[in-house]
């Protein structure tokens, strides 16, 4: 079982400053991947589209409201988490949006702050991010597959 039969679907939104030099990221305060810095996002509900999930999670975690037309779909990454018996897979849709001036609010889940795109905090981010995040932040479209080992949160193989 490669863990690809029932993927968990989720989203990440990256809000970029109007000068294109910074990105709004959040440090996760609880739950899955506590302490990790990431864009805003989470698991998709069964009744919503990926874009609707992106908008809802962005609002829940940062307080920022965006219209669907303000978000650009910019790729998909798949993470397979290796488990002793069965693996599981998360498929993550990536979205990019331009900051509209509404300041973020810290939530119970995320502590938001601005980071310069030319010095991203990769040491506190998921191990796969350096291979695709710069592409997303510079306006590209990305796809990638990453294999993780349980409790280590480090890529052991990527294609
Ligand atoms: P919640 O459990 O918070 O959703 N996520 C990842 N993000 C990156 N950059 N790389 C990964 O590689 C990730 N795996 C999961 C997607 C989980 C959030 O964590 C993100 C979701 O936004 C393994 O509902």
pLDDT digits (tens, 9 = 90+) for 59-112: 999 999 999 999 999 999 999 888 777 788 999 999 999 999 999 999 888 999
φ and ψ at 60, to 5 degrees? -65, -40
Put simply, whether the predicted model's pTM sits higher than 0.95 gets the answer no
Q: Is the distance from the beta carbon of residue 74 to the nearest atom of ligand 1 less than 6 Å?
A: no
Reported ipTM: 0.95
Ligand 1 atom having least distance to the Cα of 125: 9
Strands 22-28, 8-16: pairing is antiparallel
Q: Is the distance from the beta carbon of residue 32 to the nearest atom of ligand 1 less than 6 Å?
A: yes
Q: For residue 21, how far is its CA from the centre of ligand 1 (angstroms)?
A: 24
Q: How much of the chain is in helix, strand and coil states, percent to nearest 5? A: 20, 40, 40
Ligand 1 atom having least distance to the Cα of 126: 10
Q: What is the DSSP letter of 123?
A: G
* Residue 59 vs residue 32, higher pLDDT: 59
Closest by Cα among 122, 112, 118 to 137: 118
User: Is it the case that residue 142 has pLDDT exceeding 90?
Assistant: yes
What is the pLDDT, as a whole number, of residue 3? 57
Q: For residue 100, how far is its CA from the centre of ligand 1 (angstroms)?
A: 24
Q: What is the DSSP letter of 99?
A: -
User: Is it the case that residue 42 has pLDDT exceeding 60?
Assistant: yes
């Amino acid at each position: 079982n490669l863990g690809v039969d029932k993927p968990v679907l989720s989203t990440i939104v990256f809000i970029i400053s109007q000068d294109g030099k910074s990105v709004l990221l959040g440090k996760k305060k609880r739950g899955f991947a506590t302490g990790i810095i990431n864009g805003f996002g989470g698991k998709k509900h069964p009744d919503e589209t990926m874009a609707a999930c992106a908008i809802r999670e962005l609002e829940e975690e940062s307080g920022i409201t965006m219209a669907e037309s303000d978000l650009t779909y910019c790729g998909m990454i798949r993470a397979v988490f290796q488990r002793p018996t069965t693996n599981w897979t998360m498929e993550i849709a990536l979205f990019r949006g331009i900051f509209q001036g509404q300041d973020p609010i810290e939530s119970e889940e995320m502590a938001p702050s601005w980071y310069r795109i030319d010095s991203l905090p990769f040491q506190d981010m998921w191990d796969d991010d350096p291979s695709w995040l710069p592409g997303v932040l510079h306006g590209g479209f990305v796809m990638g597959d990453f294999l993780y080992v349980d409790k280590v949160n480090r890529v052991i193989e990527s294609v």
